[in-house]
A and B are shown apart, each in its own frame.
Chain A
Amino acid sequence: MDEILLIETVERYLKGEMTSQEKTFFEEIRKKNPDIDQLVVEHTFLFNELDKQANIKAFKHNLYEVESKLTEEGVISKKQLTGKAKVVFLWKKYKRSIAVAASIAGIVSIVTTASISTYKSKEDNKDITYLIGEVKKTKSEVATLKRSINSNPGIQTPPNPDPSFRATGFLIDGKGFIVTNAHVVNRLKTIYVGNNKGEYFSAQAIYTDKNADLAILRITDTSFKTIYNLPYSINKGNSNLGEQIFTLGYPRKEIVYGEGYLSAKSGNEGDSTAYQLSVSVNPGNSGGPVLNKRGEIVGIITSKNSTADGVVFAAKSKNIYKLLESLKDKGDTVTIKLPNNTGLKGLDREQQVKKMEDFVFMVVGN
């Protein structure tokens, strides 16, 4: 109770509510009693703080009022609303027009896609270099080659076809079906495929898909013996960004290994039939298989960007399934059974390559 009484006195003293008589008396007590003096100092401080608190709060209150007034007037800009509430609101309000717009957009995009696929062939793009290798030779040599083949129809393994172009392909069916790029096939009149043992077989393109840039060759040479148990499988799904990949191909007469990673899920200009890879490839790698670490074929090398560094495109492997599907729909009698083995899974890279290289072919011709 004593302290409360004291506080009351101090408050009155500070507020100047005391009579001058009281004041003199109180100041006398302060002088004599240091404890009370200390209390007065403390209280003065506390009251000051409370006062400041009161003033600042009142000031802030005014600030808010001024602010909201000016915000309404537009002098202070509001933070833009974000979040679901606004989206829902807009959606309700514009539902009808969005629906109309969407259907128009849909029609337009169908029309444009159709016209693009009709009029814009993929090969028109100047930024793209197809990785089909050109082999230098003279015309007379080609003539000699042709003659030698024609004069000796029974030839089983042409010693060296001395081709004008070189690319890569790989077996998808041991009976002699090879996948390569459409742009490879389109440049070749006569096609030979060669394995890593230096054996060559004549082949024929039985199907091409310009859109996905894929082609299927069939080895027509009777000397070719069916290979059983291709050790890999062909991936039907999508691969992930950053997935480690490797490829085998024939940028030169000898098989060359390259490794890298998947850097984008779409190809040139958002082409959804392809991936973007970061891997070192050169002309001749076209048609080469792209494998992931589990030994599944995920893509087929097609091209690289000539203006950007390390940008390589590969057709997605699921396009092979699509291609076969459309073949079947057309009533083609050719039956191709895609490999579905996991023989490369869990092996280290050297082993995988060793097992794989027998099934990767050089595609040559002129």
Chain B
Amino acid sequence: MIEIRLFASLREGREKVYKLEEAFSNGEEILDYFQIKSEDVAIFLINGMHSNLKNPIKDEDVIAIFPPIGGG
């Protein structure tokens, strides 16, 4: 099971958290599953670490996906 957390505008039309039994090999597959365009993703975390969409994902991983955001 992997946990996928969506934030900000990525929550529109979607839930905040998904716990899925499906196997995803990497971020690209997750984006595909949720119909999220890669240009709408600014930060992709695997277990809190910045990752790219090709980094491998394994069982029990926690994924967090953010669109472009700000700071202060």
| A and B are partners in one complex rather than unrelated chains | no
Give chain A's interface residues, CB within 8 Å of chain B.
Answer: none
